[in-house]
Structure 1
Amino acid sequence: MRTLSALAALLCGLLLAGNPGTATASASPVPLTGRGQHRSSGHRPAPSTSSRPTTRPADPDDDPNWTAEDAIRFWTHDRMEAATDPSGRHAEPAGRTSIRKGPAVKSPADSGKHFAGIKSVGTLYGGSAPQTHYCTASVVDSPGHDLILTAGHCQSAHGMFVPRYDGRKSADAQPFGVFPVQEWFRDPQWAADKGANSDLDFAFARVGTYHGKNVQDVVGANTVARTPGFTNNVTVIGYPMTRYDRADQAVSCSARTSVLAGFNQMRIDCAGMWGGVSGGPWFSRADVNGSGTGEIVGNVGGWNAGGPDVPASDPLYNRITYSPVYGDRFFQLYEDAKLGAHTDHGPYQQPALPYSMGTWDAWRHARLLVAGDFRGTGHSDMIALWSDGRATLYLGDGNGGFASERQLLAPNTTWPHAQAITAGNFTGSNQSDLLVRWSDGEVTLYDDVADNGLNTAGTQITGPNPTWPHAIQMTAGHFTAGQDATNLIVRWSDGELSLYSGVGAGTFGRESQLTGPNRGWQDAAGLTSGEFPGSGKWNLMVRWKNGELDTYPITVSELGSAARLQGPSALWTGDQAMTAGNFTRNGRTDDLVVRRPDGGTTLYADTGSTKLGIAHTLIAPAP
């Protein structure tokens, strides 16, 4: 992302090998199609073990005689202060933008914070033209105590690494010195484009000494580890360029990663990741206040040099950030760098990519969502009903994500008539059942959906009638005695709210009126329920037409007082679907899933009665 070396090189007339400005872009990613269908085309076979590595010449930007004294003389105060912006983007991968544009945009849950930095992470200077620091790098463990890690697109001539850079001081007065970049190690198959080879956007550099000392001996070193998966808790550290961030300090952001669909890369949504943080480490753990080192599992880089292809004026520019996943090719390059070898390991073959739930263009057609323990695993799965009658079961992984999917219904002309759905344990098994209200007023119960599917007659609780078409919304929960979600709340078209206790096969049980017909409840735009108080009791959650969110405690015959999660919000208005389930590890049904009008879908983990949980993007909204 945040590369600033590519066009800087163009501005100064220096043509870098593999320069993003001269590389030939690969074809655009194959778009994901089908409702809820994960991408099955475009996957490349696993890397071949028979390819024979070959040696290759050192990079043309290498200069083994470039010293710290040379770097200090070259990087004068004026050069270090000059700010150029050789970056530029115009559109993120189709369907992968993280936040909608416009005034309705909500600030991300994660925002970077300025801090003094840690000594094992610093700024990179490079190129022949005056420019400010353009990338970020970190010291990694090596036999020679002289390696730094950054992004592949950060390679440049006249390199200088400044650990824990202090923007108030000149090059010869930095707190831990300056270290000249003498040799680069970058996978020759890397390409600064939007194709699969952007998975290789990492590089190492050997730096010379400062006052006779190696960089690792001065500031310590980080370890690197294989990226454990596409969902991780990380701390990202980088140095934004002064053009974007006049504080000229390190920025740190703790965030949760997700997969960049179609690539062997991760993504985060965190404000403050301006141009200049390219190459910055993604720590799985870091001793910020002690040794100043940690374990690195990624770096800012990847698709389009690590960020969405938008101009710097777009809010997404400083928020959406990518990182390669560290696998075999990364560690092959790491070993080469430790040995001082320049090896070509052959064409890059993208590994099998993880499951993806699809993209916004499909998910905007998801009419209804419902969560439930449909497989009896102890955590929730989710069913989506689509506008063409299709039904898909998404299998929860118990860690806030989904591992795979199963088609319950192909497109058909019957299920578009399903007007409201909810899930509960109505038949006494350990698996959730699906309750459906049809457009003609019929209400049908489908038991053990994961085993029996939906191509069955189901159990009719009431046949077609003139009353139940007015049941606008319904949600099942555990509001009264018992351990199972066998209660049903219905919001009627006239604003009346009813509670049915003991719903089962063929019966609605006992009905209680929670509130009589009224104008206020006619503005309820969506209902769901869950253990939001965290006390073993379930609450009703209401989304109102103006975007306000409230929760209500429920008794057998009474609707309690509202607790406010948030006031009116444009982000929560319009045609939206929502459900609550037990998708994370805390064992409670308190994880809220919301599908926005544009198809973007978010899981708010561990939501409370008065506060939304941490937002996890399941489906990135439309750009």
Structure 2
Amino acid sequence: MRRHRTAAGILLTVGALFTGGLVHAGAAEAAPDAADSGPSAATHTTSTAAQHKARTFWTAERMRGATPLDLLLTEQAARTLKAPESHGRSTTVAPTAALASFPQAGGAWTGGGAVAATSGRVFFTFQGRTASCTGNAVTSQNASTVITAGHCVKYQGSWHTNWVFVPGYDNGKAPYGQWAAAKTLTTPQWEASEDMNNDVGAAVVSPLNGRTLTSVVGAQGIQFNGGYNKPMYSFGFPAASPYDGTKLIYCSGNSSKDFLFTQDHGLACNMTGGSSGGPWFTGFNEATGTGLQVSVNSFGYVFLPNRMFGPYFGDVAKALYDKAQAS
């Protein structure tokens, strides 16, 4: 049965979630990597004509003007005013500007290296409006796989359109080109109920000028079932205040397991809307800008404004990845 959710269930620009869309308290002992026996991924295919349209649609002006998806959802939440009942009680979700006043857990990434090319902004159309997230190129059989958040490919029952990945995005410039999605994918659990434990998405992008994505920008490794509580680096292109989407931002520190409603990783970080889908790395080497991707920026709680959460990459995420890299 589809769980009730609101836009507040995503990494909002100035808000966060506290809704009944999370796992119920009784589900807390479920293994985060337990894949069900159903499909490995929900998939949406984009026609060649639609891919061409997407590449021509995203001018420098449109990219600069794209609203972070999370901010659009915050606006929806503000109109909704009340979240659905959560664990038997009604909870008000109120946007707040408090994020800007918290100390930043990282800063602009100036180290260069691989991450400056493998990570990038994701642009798409959501409910008729231009929106953005973050994504990262990973090693794959097809050399064309991008990992992002589930809500950055599909949300509220609809697949996003005009979807492109712009690695190394630089204030309206696309130094490595715009890579249109031939397919976008998400986990069956996100498809069915927008389960935050499985807010993982992927895209398979078409070749550009006869070359595959990772032959141009390189690729980061990816790891599954790697455990909790370890040093992490998180990257993204936050575009909501106090950020403007022009720079790659990072946070780093020791991660922990969410002690509230999900089985996600948690990390001290104040990135804002637009950073959703950005990669989390373990074993990250600052000198080379390389690591193993183990999560994506997903959501935050309104009462913990300086902490961000990302799904555990277990068997469910691996099944999605395997489906994408074989496409």
Query: Is 2:31 the counterpart of 1:43?
Result: no
- Give ranges in structure 1 of 5+ residues lacking alignment: 5-23, 31-40, 95-100, 311-315, 341-623
- Gaps of at least 5 residues in structure 2 are 1-9, 14-18, 88-95, 154-159
Aligned to 2:142: 144
> Contact 2:251–2:268 (CA<8 Å) still a contact in 1?
no
What number of residue pairs does the alignment pair up? Answer: 282
Deviation at 1:106, TM superposition (A): 9.1
Q: Is the 8 A contact 1:120 1:293 kept in 2?
A: no
- Aligned equivalents of 1:309 and 1:191: distance in 2? 24
Counterparts of 1:469-548 in structure 2 under 5 Å? none
Cα shift at 1:294: 2.3
CA–CA separation in structure 1 for the residues paired with 2:209 and 2:97:
52
Q: CA deviation at 1:203?
A: 1.2
Give per-residue Cα distances to partners, 1:74-132, cap 9 Å, x unaligned.
112332122433122689x99xxxxxx999x9955833335476101000000164535
State how far apart, in whole Å, the 1-side matches of 2:97 and 2:120 are: 35
Write the letter of the residue equivalent to 2:180: P
Q: Report the equivalent of 1:77.
A: 60
Q: Distance in 1 between matches of 2:142 and 2:315?
A: 22
Aligned residue in 1 for 2:308 = 321
- The Cα of 1:233 is off from its aligned counterpart by 0.7
Superimposed CA distance per residue, residues 447-466 of structure 1 (whole angstroms, 9 cap, x where no aligned partner) = xxxxxxxxxxxxxxxxxxxx
Matches of 2:34 and 2:133, distance apart in 1: 34
Q: Determine whether 1:160 maps to 2:164.
A: yes
Q: Is the 8 A contact 1:121 1:163 kept in 2?
A: yes
TM-score with structure 1 setting the length:
0.41
Displacement after TM superposition at 1:43 (Å) = 3.2
Aligned to 1:208: 206
Shift of 1:296: 0.8
- The runs of 4+ residues in structure 1 deviating greater than 2 Å are 1-4, 24-30, 41-59, 66-72, 105-117, 128-132, 226-230, 285-290
| Contact 2:35 2:315 (C-alpha < 8 Å) held by counterparts | no
1:111 and 1:48 mapped to 2: Cα distance? 29
Separation (CA, whole Å) in 2 of partners of 1:50 and 1:288: 33
What is aligned with 1:226? 224
SS of the aligned residue for 1:148 comes to strand
Establish whether residue 266 from structure 1 lines up as the match of residue 265 from structure 2: yes
Structure with higher Rg: it is 1
Amino acid at match of 1:87: L
In 1, distance between residues paired with 2:251 and 2:264?
Answer: 18
Aligned to 2:301: 308
Secondary structure of the 1:126 match is: strand
3-state DSSP of counterpart to 1:159: strand
Going from structure 1 to structure 2, the CA distance change for 1:106 and 1:77 (only over 3 Å counts) comes to: closer
Q: Label 1:211 to 1:135 Cα distance change in 2 as closer, same or farther (>3 A).
A: same
1:294-315 CA deviation, whole Å, 9 max, x = no partner? 21111111xxxx11247xxxxx
2:226 matches 1:237: no
- Alpha-carbon contact 2:136-2:148 (below 8 Å) kept: yes
1:221 Cα shift? 0.8
Aligned to 2:275: 277
Q: CA shift at 1:204, angstroms?
A: 1.2
| Counterpart secondary structure, 1:153 | helix
Name the CA shift for 1:210/1:288 in 2 (closer, same or farther; >3 Å): farther
CA shift digits 1:582-602 (9 cap, x unpaired): xxxxxxxxxxxxxxxxxxxxx
1:86 aligned to 72, 83, 91, which one?
A: 72
In structure 2, relative to structure 1, the CA distance for the partners of 1:163 and 1:126 (3 Å cut) is same
1:278-300 residue CA offsets vs partner (Å, 9 max, x unmatched) = 0111111334553x432111111
Contact preservation (8 Å) 2:116, 2:168: yes
Residue identity over aligned pairs, in percent, reads 26
1:206 aligns to what SS in structure 2?
Answer: strand
For the 8 Å contact 1:66–1:181, the answer to whether it is kept is no
Q: For residues 186 and 176 of structure 2, what CA distance do their matches in structure 1 show?
A: 26
Once the two structures are superposed, what CA deviation does each residue of 1:130-152 show, in whole Å capped at 9, x if it has no partner? 535x1110001111100000000
- The match for 1:293 is 290
Conservation of the 8 A alpha-carbon contact between 2:231 and 2:254:
yes
> 1:48–1:127: structure 2 CA closer, same or farther, 3 Å change rule?
closer
When residues 289 and 130 of structure 1 are mapped into structure 2, their CA distance, relative to the original with a 3 A threshold, is: farther
Q: Contact 1:112–1:270 at 8 Å: present in 2 too? A: no
- Supply the AA of the counterpart residue of 1:43: A
SS of equivalent residue, structure 2 residue 188:
coil
Distance in 1, matches of 2:241 and 2:295, equals: 25
Contact 2:267 / 2:307 at 8 angstroms: preserved in 1?
A: yes
Distance in 2 (CA, whole Å) between partners of 1:295 and 1:150 is: 14
Structure richer in helix, relative to its length: 2
Counting only pairs closer than 5 Å after superposition, residues 65-464 of structure 1 correspond to structure 2 as: 65-66=48-49, 69-84=52-67, 85-88=71-74, 107-108=102-103, 110-115=105-110, 118-127=116-125, 129-132=128-131, 134-155=132-153, 156-169=160-173, 174-190=174-190, 197-241=195-239, 244-246=242-244, 248-261=246-259, 262-271=261-270, 273-290=271-288, 292-301=289-298, 306-309=299-302, 317=305, 319-340=306-327
Show the counterpart of 1:347.
Answer: none
Report SS of the residue matched to 1:158: strand
Q: 1:67 to 1:120 in 2, by over 3 A?
A: farther
Gap change, CA 1:186 and 1:55, over 3 Å in 2: closer
CA–CA distance in 1 between the matches of 2:250 and 2:290? 14
In 1, the alpha carbon distance for the partners of 2:250 and 2:168 equals 13
| 8 Å contact from structure 2 (residues 140, 325) kept in 1 | yes
C-alpha offsets along residues 381-406 of structure 1, whole Å, 9 cap, x if unaligned? xxxxxxxxxxxxxxxxxxxxxxxxxx
What SS class does the counterpart of residue 55 from structure 2 fall into? helix
Contact 2:279–2:295 under 8 Å retained in 1: yes
